Structure 1
């Protein structure tokens, strides 16, 4: 399951959650929540119990095995991130991560706006990313 780290991390960070809360925190479609939690429970990473205050709801808890799996995944992610960001000085890495997180958050909210490039001169121009011959898109990469 490709979203396992996010679900386990949400439980680790926020603690016990209802299925619905976990789905909202992980930005999951409501129709996918039960199947995802079933898969995590089958792997022993989470435990699902009835909510004592509302028997219609289930509470999801991170298990010891789930915590171990999350730590393994965190270690693997740290290695991949170090490999990816290796060319950058250590002091620049948090800045890049912060900026990329801002972009992701912006686009996840559906607030995406067209890419504006400012070529020589004052006027901004909308770039067509399919048109790779556009002078404003040419230049060295890297």
Structure 2
């Protein structure tokens, strides 16, 4: 008998919990890592970063401050609006991002080790299809 959507959802939540738990081994907190990855993709205003991360501007201020204090990002005036700031990754932040990528890849290898390459491909395709459908605007 086929598994219900509810059962699959439960399995995905359990797997996400396992990955989050193993991510605690990362050198910075998971919420800081998410922010650092977003900033690493492109220099960004903190307000836009808050939108991308789905957090409040107040919360993003704390994250930006902690990453700045750690020397992983820097804040500079926005060239298009000197009242605004742009945050970008420092060279130390780039090194940290590389370490994070390696750690995340190692965690993923641990979690998905029981699957063959073909099974991983199939899982990836199925999850992508569900994500694409869930994120699509309503018809």
Same fold per superposition (TM over 0.5) = yes
For structure 2, list consecutive stretches of 5 or more residues without a partner in the other structure: 1-28
For structure 1, list consecutive stretches of 5 or more residues without a partner in the other structure: 110-142
Q: Which residue of 2 aligns with 1:86?
A: 113
Q: 1:31 to 1:98 in 2, by over 3 A?
A: farther
Q: Which residue of 1 aligns with 2:56?
A: 29
Indicate if the aligned counterparts of 2:40 and 2:89 stay in contact, CA closer than 8 A: yes
Following TM superposition, by how much is the alpha carbon of 1:31 offset from its aligned partner in structure 2, in angstroms?
Answer: 2.0
Structure 1, residues 113-138: CA drift from partner, whole Å, max 9, x if none? Answer: xxxxxxxxxxxxxxxxxxxxxxxxxx
* TM-score of the superposed pair, with normalisation by structure 2: 0.66
Q: Which residue of 2 aligns with 1:129?
A: none
Indicate if the aligned counterparts of 1:47 and 1:61 stay in contact, CA closer than 8 A: yes
SS at match of 1:44: coil
Indicate if the aligned counterparts of 1:11 and 1:62 stay in contact, CA closer than 8 A: yes
Structure with the greater alpha carbon radius of gyration: 1
- In the alignment of these two chains, the number of paired residues is 108
* TM-score of the superposed pair, with normalisation by structure 1: 0.65
Structure 1, residues 23-52: CA drift from partner, whole Å, max 9, x if none? Answer: 112222222011110000001110011213
Q: 1:2 to 1:58 in 2, by over 3 A?
A: same
Q: Which residue of 2 aligns with 1:39?
A: 66
Measure the CA separation in 1 of the matches of 2:59 and 2:78: 20
Following TM superposition, by how much is the alpha carbon of 1:84 offset from its aligned partner in structure 2, in angstroms?
Answer: 0.6
Measure the CA separation in 2 of the matches of 1:85 and 1:40: 31
Q: Which residue of 1 aligns with 2:99?
A: 72
Pick the structure with more helix per residue: 2
